Every structure is written in structure tokens, then in C-alpha cells.
Structure 1
Amino acid sequence: MPEAAAGLLGIAALFGLMLFRMPVAFAMLTVGFFGMWALSGLKAAGAVLLTEGYASVSGYALIVVPMFILLGNIASAAGFSRGLYDAAFAWVGRFRGGLASASVLGCGLFSAVSGSSVATAVTIGKVALPEMQRLGYGPALATGAVAAGGTLGFLIPPSTGFVLYAILTEQSIGRLFMAGVLPGLLLVGLFILTIWIMALMDPGAGPRGPKVPWSRKLGMTFRALPLVAVIVLSIGGIYAGVFTPVEASGIGATLVLALALVSRRLTVGLFRMALLDTVRTSAMLYMVVIGANVLNPFLAVTHVPETLGHALTGLGLGPYGTLTAVILAYVVLGMFLDGLSMLVVTIPIVFPIMMANGFDPIWFGVVAVIVVEMGMITPPVGLNVFVVKGIAPAVPMVTIFRGVLPFLLAMLIGLLLIVQFPGIALMLPASMFD
């Protein structure tokens, strides 16, 4: 069998295994191992499994994964997320759709400590959705704002999406983290603008919240400041070159743990739950990294990326035509795969094609992560939609999907702006080493 045909068969088998509910990590392991066995023999396949499996998780840079996950879990267990949401609501709750805007702001702030879209949607959703229901918000606007806001956890650093992209493409985690800051703020602004327009079109869907006196505004802001300071110290320290992303993750986790202990918000039981959740999530991500690194040699041997690259080049689409085709392919895949699976499966194939067309690897990382974010709220899979459905079981799925459609449009506008003005993503990483 020709190598390219074997590679395409392997990719088909990979998607088939995932459709049959095999975890993405084990699907990649299976296809990578047996594919190498078929093409190069059992000895070569065993060598790849052993060497790549160990090398992929023994790197120092990967420590950022459990540390930042622990940081987010402790912050959630200690109830710091409520302080972020209350502070945001104090400032914007008085406006139309203000409670939904506060949810988006809370998601953006909590994303900077969690690195996970699901954790962000769950944590802020549990606080925000009951409040919006109490004030009579339309269910579509309320659930759509939380589902869309939760996707920010995959873009705003410390993003697990950027960590995986950096590992798969051998790029700088610090540069990718910085590249996600301004696009993340851009999406926050576009989401709030979307909420304002939706509330303007249907005032009953997003009524004004109660007026908050200045003393309470300042009090809520003051209570949120310690966690905000940890965020600024961690991300700002990376930007200033004071410490590496690995050191920032350790410092951030230690400071949040200290804050939780000093404020007496963290019991032994809650701390144990945070540790166990950190171990589970980290183990899952480590297995994904192992699976991707076992699959990559198989794809390299079959020359699938080069074959697809030549095929796209032969179509005469040009760099931006090729980028458009890749984005459309991501949108279609996002209808059936969760974001993490889509990222680790496609990047080894798509990345060489993008580099051959002259795109900046850091910039493309931001584009890829945003498109993956869109998949998190795209029907019929829409992982964040199912997460929000779990928090608000009385709201029909159709209503939640209807609520996220305006936010999908906002994300598309943000993506077009980043394509048109690459400096939005590249300005901060470029200035890190000036």
C-alpha cells in the first residue's frame, strides 16, 4: 500500500475510533502504533511508543499544565470566582444586559487563572445563571453569554490550548500566552457589544440590574483585588521576562493557595477535591500529548501533510485562500469533535501547510485556537453548550444554541479582524524581546 494511502486510511481510522467513543488519546495511540507497525515493523513501532511516550511528558515546560490547573481549581474551590463576578456586576450590572456582561467579564477574569473553557463555564455559570434567572433574563441571552464567555478559557492565558499547540509545534509557550491577551480582550469587548445589541433589540431579555452604591462597588473590587493581583503578577511577570511560564505557574498556584488559607476559605475536603481534579485533568492532558507524539511519526512517514499541502497548492488558492479552506474545515470538524480533540488531531497536519504558505506560527496559533473556540459552541456537539445545559437543565438545548449564534458571529468578526490586522496577536509577543 502506498504510504500516502496508508496515512489517509490511518486518519479515517482515527476519526472512526473517536466516533465510536474511544478517547482521543487512545485513538491516536492506536493509529500511530499500528500504523508504524504496518509500515516499518513492530520494532520501529515499539521504539516510537517508548521514546516518544517518555520524551513527550518528561519535558520541563509541561509542568505548566498541572500547576495552572491547580491554580484554577483552588481558586474555584475557595470561591474566589464569586468575588470576580460580583466585582464585574457592581460596575456593569446597572446597564441593559449588565448581568450577562458581568458574566462575560467574570469568564474573562477567571480564564486568566483556569486555562480551561469547561471550568470557566461551570464556575461562572453556577454563580451567574441563577442571578440572571432571578432578574428575569431571557434564557437564550443568559445561557448564550455563559457558554460563549466560557470559551475564553481556551484563549486567554494560561490557556491549555496554547500549551498543547506549543508542544505540538515546538513554539514558545510564553510568546503564545502573550499572543492570546489582546485577542482575548477583543473577544470580551465584542461579546459585551453583542449583549448590548441583543438587549437593545429585546429589552425584556436583558433588564437592568439594581443600582450599586459607590461604597459597595469599591468594596467588591477590593475583595477581588488579591486574585486579580495574582493574575497580573503571573501574566505580567512572563511579559516582563521576570520569570518563565513554568515559574509563573508555580508562583501563581502558591499565591492562590496562600490566599485561600489566609482567608480560611479552603477546607481539607475542598483542597483534596482540588488536588484530585488536578490529577485527573493533568493525566488526561498528558495522555493526549503522548498520543499526539506517537501519531506524529506515523504521519511523517506517510507524508500526509506534504501531500495535502501540494494538493492545496495545486488548487491555486494562494496563502489566504488556503487559510480560508483550513478555517472552513475547522468549522465543519467543530460540529462533530470537541475542541481539544480537534486541535491535537489537526495541528500536525495543518501546521506544515500554514508554514509553507508563509504565515507566522504564533499568529496561526491564535487563529487556530479561536476557530477551535467556535467549535465549542457550534451545534450539534458544542461542548460548552452541554456544560451550560447541565447547569440550567430547564432550558431546552435549542434555546441555548439559539442564544450562542450571535456570539458565534462576534467571534467570526474577531477572527476576521485578527486576520486583517495580525498585530493584534503579534504586538505583545514581539515586544517581549525588544
Structure 2
Amino acid sequence: MDFTELAIVLLFVLFLLLGSGVWVALSLVGVAIVGMALFTDRPIGASMYSTLWTSSTSWTLTALPLFIWMGEILYRTRLSESLFRGLSPWLNWLPGRLMHTNVIGCTLFAAVSGSSAATLTTVGKMSMPELRKRGYPDFMSVGTLAGASTLGLMIPPSLTMIVYGVITNQSIPKLFIAGIIPGLILAALFMGYVVIWDIVKKPGITKEPAMSMKQRLHESRLLIPVALLIITVIGSMYSGLATATEAAALGVVGALLLAAIQRSLTFGSLVESLLGTVKTSCMIALILAGASFLTLAMGFTGLPRGLAEWVGSLDLSPFMLLVALMLVYIVLGCFLDGISAVVLTMAVVTPMLNDAGINLIWFGIFVLVMVEMAQITPPVGFNLFVMKGLTNHSLGFIAKAAAPMFLIMALMAFLLIAFPNLATFLPSYMNEATM
């Protein structure tokens, strides 16, 4: 059986399993078993249990549940309320005014969360009632919040970055640092959209009462805990004082201290945060285990090598290869969550990237933009469903409101292609600084 027939059979099996409602992780294992059974003479059982065990005992993965737990704890604090009160006095002069709290609030919370859904839920519960009370249109509030919350995937610490780093054997701290500049640029683009909307539509939003500088600074004190937590987590890694796992542990301790100071973490909420952490961590770990077995099976079948040779025969330039991959991830994002799309494709994509000489750290940031786009892409964009739960708007309304943010993310992807140093500058500086 040639390469094309092999790919068709395996894709048919994959979509059959996914369409039947089988868990993503078990679907990946199923495809691997079929691939090895039909196209190789390798022992399936021995290969499967050794691969599943090895992938589940990676030291790098210990950072994952710690960052998830940190986000779960912060979700149960009054951090979002503090963010709104601390930011709003400084945004009254900007076109769009308090609409910018969605973007800036998501940016700051993303730096201590690592999860798009947690960022959306936490900031949304705070900002939506306040913006509605002040007469801001729901269309813009919903759109900016759905889009900006995806920064939880880009700005470190990011759970998807950890998954990508484990799959591709890349440094987690380098990936974290690489996401800072693109994440801030993307946040600036979102804010630019709000400014243009205000200038063009002239919604006539009422200004907030004027505050003296002393009053502004007094309200800004509420941002100090967030700033300290960001410095602790990101600064410890960037300075070389801590690994990703150690920084995650520091983040958990900082989150617990913040919750204790605010007196917002009861025994019941602590148990809930632990249960939420276990559920999310187990889901991701199971997907990673299935993806590891699929990667091994694909290597035995020769599919990645065949696909890489086929793409090489097309003589695509690196730019056209990236555009093609971008289209693939956009289509996958319509049907799969971001982590599943990443683990499903990297076994095949990595050889192509290596042959094209594309930096895997850079591609990690590029693919994160694709994952962000998937979060607001119908029919299964996860942020759309979270937003529906927060606002009771229809999925069509939310998707339409988020469409401009989708286009801004596409623009960010092309900016990364045009200016790759946006993602590679800080990691290279980190190398030199820590030699």
C-alpha cells in the first residue's frame, strides 16, 4: 500500500472514531493500533504500554498540574474585581474607554493563569456586568472578551506551550519567553481594534468621573498582587533561578498566599480547585499519552517520512508551507480543541518543519496563534460556549462578534512570518544571558 492509500485509511479511521464520540485520546490510540496492525509487523502491546508509560512519567509534565492548580485557585479569588478597579481609572482618556479593560484584564490574568477558558470566565464575570451597567454595547464587549481571553494560551505560563514543548522536545522556559512579545503585540492589536471602533462608530459612551492622580494611584494598589505574582513566575524562569516546574510551584504558593490575604479560599473551594486540577490534568495527560503512541506508530508506518517527501516534491517555499499549515489548522480548529489539534499533527508536521529549516520554538508560537483562532471558530470553538454560558447570547451572535478578533489573529500569524524575530529574539537573548 502506498503513502496516499495509507494516509486515506488512517484519516478515515480517525474521523470515524472522532465522529462516533470516542474520546480524542482513545481515538489517537485506536488509529495507532490500526496503523500498526495493518501496515507493520511490530508488536502492538509491548510498543503501546512502554510508550504510554514513558510519556506519562516525563518530568517536564509536572509543571502542567501546578500551573492548572494556580489558575484554579486564582479563579476563586477576587483578583478580577481588583483588576477592574485598578485599571479603569487609567483608561478613561482612550477611545473605547473601559472596553479596554477586557483586553488588558485578559492580558494580565493570562500571565498568571495559562488557560483561555479560565481567563474568559474570570474576567468575563467581572467586566460584563460593569460594562453593561455603563451602557457599553454587548456586541463589542462579547467580541473583545472572547478574542482577548485567548491570550491565556499565548502569554506565559501557557498549558498549550507545555504540551507543545513536551511533544517536540523543546525547552519550556524558552517557549514561555518566546510568547511574551507576540502576546503583547496581539493585545495591542486588539486594543487598536477597540480604538478604531470607537472613532468610526462614535457610540457616545459616558466618561467615568474624573479622578485625581492620588486617587488613581490609590486604586492602582490593587494591581500590586498581580504584578508580584507575574514577576515571581515569569521572572524566576527568565532569570534562570527556576525551571518551569519550580516556577509553577512558586506560582501555586503565591496564589495560595493571595487567596489567604483576601480570605477568599475556603476548605470547600480548595477541594474544588484540586478536583478541577485533577480533571484537567488527567484529560491532557491522557491525550498526550495517546499522541505519543500515535507518533511511534506513524514512525513505524513511514507516514511522516512519506508526507515530508511528498511536500518536498511540491517544492513549496517556507512561506507557502506555513500558509498551507495555517489553513490546515484553521480547518482542524473547526472540529477539535487546540491541544488535540497540536498533538494530532506534530508527528507529521515536525519532519516537514525540520526539512524546511523552520525554528521549532518559532513554530510553537505560530501554532499557538492557530490554536487561539480555533478557540473562537464555530462549531466547536470552546470560548464560544463559555461566552454563551456567561451572556446567554446565541452562538451565532457570539461568533459574529468575535469574527474581527479572528481576522486580527490571522494578521498576527502573517506578522510572525514576516518578522520571525518577534518570537525568537527573547529566547536567543536568554541563551546568551544564561551561558
TM category, shorter:
over 0.9
Whether 2:417 is the aligned partner of 1:419: answer: yes
**What code does the residue aligned with 1:431 have?**
Y
Q: Could you tell me how far apart the structure 2 residues matched to 1:106 and 1:194 are?
A: 16
Of residues 384, 406, 410 in structure 1, which corresponds to 2:404?
A: 406
**Alignment partner, residue 278 of structure 1:** 277
Unmatched segments (≥5 aa) in structure 2: none
Q: Compared with structure 1, are the counterparts of its residues 312 and 208 closer, same or farther at alpha carbon in structure 2 (3 Å cutoff)?
A: farther
**What code does the residue aligned with 1:36 have?**
M
Secondary structure at the counterpart of residue 108 of structure 1? helix
- Cα pair 1:117 1:384 within 8 Å, conserved: yes
Give the CA deviation at 1:318: 1.5
Q: Compared with structure 1, are the counterparts of its residues 291 and 93 closer, same or farther at alpha carbon in structure 2 (3 Å cutoff)?
A: farther
**What code does the residue aligned with 1:240 have?**
S
Equivalent runs, 1:151-170 vs 2, <5 Å:
151-170=150-169
Q: Could you tell me how far apart the structure 1 residues matched to 2:97 and 2:336 are?
A: 33
Q: Could you tell me how far apart the structure 2 residues matched to 1:206 and 1:237 are?
A: 41
Give the CA deviation at 1:207: 5.5
Equivalent runs, 1:346-385 vs 2, <5 Å:
346-385=345-384
Q: Could you tell me how far apart the structure 1 residues matched to 2:277 and 2:215 are?
A: 34
Q: Compared with structure 1, are the counterparts of its residues 47 and 148 closer, same or farther at alpha carbon in structure 2 (3 Å cutoff)?
A: same
**Alignment partner, residue 5 of structure 2:** 5
**Alignment partner, residue 136 of structure 2:** 137
Give the CA deviation at 1:18: 1.7
Q: Could you tell me how far apart the structure 1 residues matched to 2:289 and 2:208 are?
A: 48
Q: Compared with structure 1, are the counterparts of its residues 160 and 30 closer, same or farther at alpha carbon in structure 2 (3 Å cutoff)?
A: same
Give the CA deviation at 1:346: 1.2
- Cα pair 1:97 1:207 within 8 Å, conserved: no
**Alignment partner, residue 146 of structure 1:** 145
**Alignment partner, residue 77 of structure 1:** 76
Give the CA deviation at 1:4: 5.9
Moved more, 162-171 or 20-29: 20-29
Give the CA deviation at 1:209: 4.2
**Alignment partner, residue 19 of structure 1:** 19
Equivalent runs, 1:30-429 vs 2, <5 Å:
30-40=30-40, 44-204=43-203, 208-393=207-392, 395-429=393-427
Give the CA deviation at 1:45: 1.3
Identical counterparts, % of pairs: 34
Secondary structure at the counterpart of residue 432 of structure 1? helix
- Cα pair 2:304 2:349 within 8 Å, conserved: yes
**What code does the residue aligned with 1:347 have?**
M
Moved more, 140-149 or 28-37: 28-37
Secondary structure at the counterpart of residue 136 of structure 2? coil
- Cα pair 2:67 2:114 within 8 Å, conserved: yes
**What code does the residue aligned with 1:199 have?**
D
Give the CA deviation at 1:204: 2.0
Give the CA deviation at 1:141: 0.6
**Alignment partner, residue 432 of structure 1:** 430
Q: Compared with structure 1, are the counterparts of its residues 210 and 29 closer, same or farther at alpha carbon in structure 2 (3 Å cutoff)?
A: farther
Give the CA deviation at 1:7: 4.4
**What code does the residue aligned with 1:392 have?**
T
**What code does the residue aligned with 1:191 have?**
F
Q: RMSD in angstroms over aligned alpha carbons?
A: 1.8
**What code does the residue aligned with 2:251 have?**
G
Q: Could you tell me how far apart the structure 2 residues matched to 1:256 and 1:12 are?
A: 45
Unmatched segments (≥5 aa) in structure 1: none
Give the CA deviation at 1:16: 2.7
Q: TM-score, normalised by structure 2?
A: 0.94
Q: Could you tell me how far apart the structure 2 residues matched to 1:226 and 1:419 are?
A: 36
- Cα pair 1:3 1:302 within 8 Å, conserved: no
- Cα pair 1:95 1:208 within 8 Å, conserved: no
Q: Could you tell me how far apart the structure 2 residues matched to 1:360 and 1:287 are?
A: 28
Give the CA deviation at 1:217: 2.6
Give the CA deviation at 1:352: 1.4
Q: Could you tell me how far apart the structure 2 residues matched to 1:404 and 1:9 are?
A: 36
Secondary structure at the counterpart of residue 366 of structure 1? helix
String of CA shifts for 1:319-348, please: whole Å, max 9, x gaps: 211111111111222222221221111122
Q: Compared with structure 1, are the counterparts of its residues 299 and 259 closer, same or farther at alpha carbon in structure 2 (3 Å cutoff)?
A: same
Q: Compared with structure 1, are the counterparts of its residues 213 and 287 closer, same or farther at alpha carbon in structure 2 (3 Å cutoff)?
A: farther
- Cα pair 1:93 1:99 within 8 Å, conserved: yes
Q: Could you tell me how far apart the structure 2 residues matched to 1:17 and 1:172 are?
A: 33
Give the CA deviation at 1:214: 3.2
**What code does the residue aligned with 2:365 have?**
V
- Cα pair 1:162 1:173 within 8 Å, conserved: yes
- Cα pair 1:135 1:209 within 8 Å, conserved: no
**What code does the residue aligned with 1:322 have?**
L
Secondary structure at the counterpart of residue 204 of structure 1? coil
Q: Could you tell me how far apart the structure 2 residues matched to 1:428 and 1:358 are?
A: 20
Paired residues, number:
432
Moved over 4 A (4+): 1-4, 205-210
Give the CA deviation at 1:278: 0.7
Q: Could you tell me how far apart the structure 1 residues matched to 2:413 and 2:325 are?
A: 13
- Cα pair 2:85 2:222 within 8 Å, conserved: no
Q: Could you tell me how far apart the structure 1 residues matched to 2:29 and 2:175 are?
A: 27
String of CA shifts for 1:67-98, please: whole Å, max 9, x gaps: 01111111111222321233222321453322
